């Protein structure tokens, strides 16, 4: 297939957290709000002239300094972010909103604040206490936290309009972006999808890393282009997989999977599109902050929720994606030293494989994955096993028909 018109521009945007569109928004008086996690309702952060940037640390190299401050037994995502903060990569941030999702994330935010790593006089940070249960009380508490820790400070510190109308406009813009992704995601269900898995990953990453209002026209144009795209006659994939797991913002991982012959049909990982790129249903009667907060809590698939019904729900969601996107197997990936995903990966991959009969492989990895030969070997072996299963199944079917 011919390259997408903007794909090289998109990959260039992913080279730096403070990318061209972020700089353009800042130049225009925008207030940059960094965040890292699905507990932070992105749709509300793009209110008025504030804009959200989900934080990455592209081209991460040595983690020596962050290791000195945080130790080596923390996930390499938080260490990479701290290292980048030491390098001065986040001076453009006006605010950093976080949740106490995990202690490692807390340590990161505290280090950034205490060591004054953001050289920006008005820099503001806040951490919310996110509920561990989804209940009417939990939703009320969460909504209150979002208002008092994020929205009101945006108004009081930066003069941002957080009126109902301004917030509704922000959610409408977010929904326009999600509608594009819902359409693009549908393409992944086809036998011969009109988009490569790596392209999808790149589009998804730029949507998180750039101001929504500025990236939207590029995404709209790309959707039109995808609908008219001339497909290659031959399908270049040997198997279709769902990827599930912890934080993943390196499209090199998807490239690696494609290189091994598999197509990623669904991305159920932190920083992926499921959840994250589905429209938020709104109505005229309820307070918009409440509606959005309830949506983010109810669709949250973080293994930090440990109640039995949430544990079961997460397995059901993965199984539903496997069925809906016609996958052959599941890759469970986990960032090393991530406790939540460590437990989830070990148990869920066993249950899906042994009890639900779905071919599943479990992998652990570092923040940057592209150069990992070991990972490549594991994925290659899994793809081969899926292909053998498919060949065997087709053979059995043929023999059955002959009889
Ligand atoms: S990958 Fe795990 S340990 Fe790292 S920030 Fe996310 S939840 Fe925390």
Average pLDDT of the chain is 96
Q: Map residue 308 onto helix, strand or coil.
A: helix
Specify the ligand 1 atom closest to the Cα of 247. Answer: 1
Please check the confidence at residue 370 and state whether its pLDDT lies above 80. Answer: no
Instruction: Give the pLDDT band (50/70/90) at residue 400.
Output: confident
Q: What is the architecture, at CATH level 2, of domain 12-162? A: 3-Layer(aba) Sandwich (3.40)
The finding on whether 340 has its CB within 6 A of some atom of ligand 1 is: yes
The finding on whether 248 has its CB within 6 A of some atom of ligand 1 is: no
Q: What percent of the chain has pLDDT over 70?
A: 100
296 CA to centre of ligand 1 in angstroms:
18
Specify the ligand 1 atom closest to the Cα of 270. Answer: 6
* Neighbouring residues of 11: CB distance < 8 A, sequence distance ≥ 6: 202
Residue nearest to atom 2 of ligand 1 (CA): 338
Instruction: Give the pLDDT band (50/70/90) at residue 269.
Output: very high
336 CA to centre of ligand 1 in angstroms:
9
151 CA to centre of ligand 1 in angstroms:
25
The finding on whether 105 has its CB within 6 A of some atom of ligand 1 is: yes
Burial class (CB within 10 angstroms; exposed 0-12, middle 13-18, buried 19+) of 133? middle
Which H or E element spans position 95?
strand 95-99
Q: How does pLDDT run across 146-179, given as a tens digit for each residue?
A: 999 999 999 999 999 999 999 999 999 999 999 9
Q: How many residues does the chain have?
A: 403
For range 370-395, the mean pLDDT: 91
Specify the ligand 1 atom closest to the Cα of 337. Answer: 3
Q: How does pLDDT run across 322-342, given as a tens digit for each residue?
A: 999 999 999 999 999 999 999
- What's the confidence (pLDDT) of residue 398? 85
105 CA to centre of ligand 1 in angstroms:
7
The finding on whether 134 has its CB within 6 A of some atom of ligand 1 is: no
Q: How does pLDDT run across 47-91, given as a tens digit for each residue?
A: 999 999 999 999 999 999 999 999 999 999 999 999 999 999 999
The finding on whether 341 has its CB within 6 A of some atom of ligand 1 is: yes
Contact 108, 118 (CB under 8 A): no
The finding on whether 246 has its CB within 6 A of some atom of ligand 1 is: yes
Q: Which residue has the tokens 């059901």?
A: 316
pTM (whole model) above 0.85:
yes
**Tokens linked to 292:** 């959005």
The finding on whether 98 has its CB within 6 A of some atom of ligand 1 is: no
Domain boundaries, the chain: 12-162
Cis upstream peptide for 275 (omega within 30°): yes
The finding on whether 269 has its CB within 6 A of some atom of ligand 1 is: no
Q: How does pLDDT run across 190-246, given as a tens digit for each residue?
A: 999 999 999 999 999 999 999 999 999 999 999 999 999 999 988 889 999 999 999
The finding on whether 101 has its CB within 6 A of some atom of ligand 1 is: yes
Burial class (CB within 10 angstroms; exposed 0-12, middle 13-18, buried 19+) of 175? middle
For residues 145 and 225, what is the distance between their CA atoms, to the nearest angstrom? 41
Specify the ligand 1 atom closest to the Cα of 304. Answer: 7
Q: How does pLDDT run across 294-319, given as a tens digit for each residue?
A: 999 999 999 999 999 999 999 999 99
For residues 260 and 370, what is the distance between their CA atoms, to the nearest angstrom? 12
The finding on whether 130 has its CB within 6 A of some atom of ligand 1 is: no
The finding on whether 274 has its CB within 6 A of some atom of ligand 1 is: no
The finding on whether 104 has its CB within 6 A of some atom of ligand 1 is: yes
Q: How does pLDDT run across 118-127, given as a tens digit for each residue?
A: 999 999 999 9
């Amino acid at each position: 297939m011919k390259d997408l018109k903007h794909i090289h521009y998109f990959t260039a945007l992913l080279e730096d957290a403070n990318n061209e569109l972020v700089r353009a928004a800042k130049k225009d008086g925008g207030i940059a709000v960094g965040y890292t996690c699905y507990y932070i309702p992105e749709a509300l952060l793009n209110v008025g002239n504030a804009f959200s940037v989900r934080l990455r640390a592209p081209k991460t190299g040595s983690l020596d300094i962050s290791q000195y401050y945080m130790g080596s037994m923390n996930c390499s995502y938080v260490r990479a972010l701290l290292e980048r903060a030491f390098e001065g990569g986040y001076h453009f941030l006006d605010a950093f909103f976080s949740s106490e999702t995990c202690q490692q994330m807390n340590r990161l935010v505290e280090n950034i604040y205490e060591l004054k790593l953001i050289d920006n006089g008005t820099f503001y940070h806040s951490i919310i206490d996110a509920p561990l249960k989804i209940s009417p009380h939990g939703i009320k508490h969460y909504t209150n936290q979002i208002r008092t820790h994020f929205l009101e400070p945006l108004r009081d510190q930066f003069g941002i309009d957080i009126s109902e109308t301004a917030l509704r406009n922000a959610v409408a813009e977010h929904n326009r972006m999600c509608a594009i992704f819902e359409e693009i995601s549908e393409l992944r269900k086809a036998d011969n999808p009109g988009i490569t898995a790596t392209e999808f990953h790149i589009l998804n990453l730029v949507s998180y890393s750039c101001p929504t209002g500025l990236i939207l026209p590029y995404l709209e144009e790309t959707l039109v282009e995808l609908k008219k795209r001339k497909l290659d006659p031959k399908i270049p994939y040997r198997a279709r997989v769902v990827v599930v797991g912890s934080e993943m913002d390196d499209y090199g991982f998807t490239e690696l999977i494609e290189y091994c012959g598999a197509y990623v049909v669904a991305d159920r990982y932190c920083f992926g599109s499921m959840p994250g790129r589905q429209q938020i249903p709104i109505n005229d009667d309820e307070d918009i902050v409440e509606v959005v907060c309830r949506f983010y809590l109810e669709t949250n698939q973080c293994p930090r929720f440990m109640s039995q019904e949430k544990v079961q729900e997460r397995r059901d969601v993965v199984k539903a994606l496997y069925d809906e996107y016609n996958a052959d197997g599941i890759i469970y990936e986990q960032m090393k030293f991530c406790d939540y995903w460590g437990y989830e990966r070990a148990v869920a991959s066993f249950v899906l494989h042994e009890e639900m009969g779905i071919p599943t492989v479990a992998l652990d990895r570092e923040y940057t994955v592209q150069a990992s030969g070991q990972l490549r070997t594991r994925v290659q072996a899994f793809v081969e096993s899926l292909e053998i299963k498919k060949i065997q199944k087709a053979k059995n079917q043929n023999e059955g028909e002959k009889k």
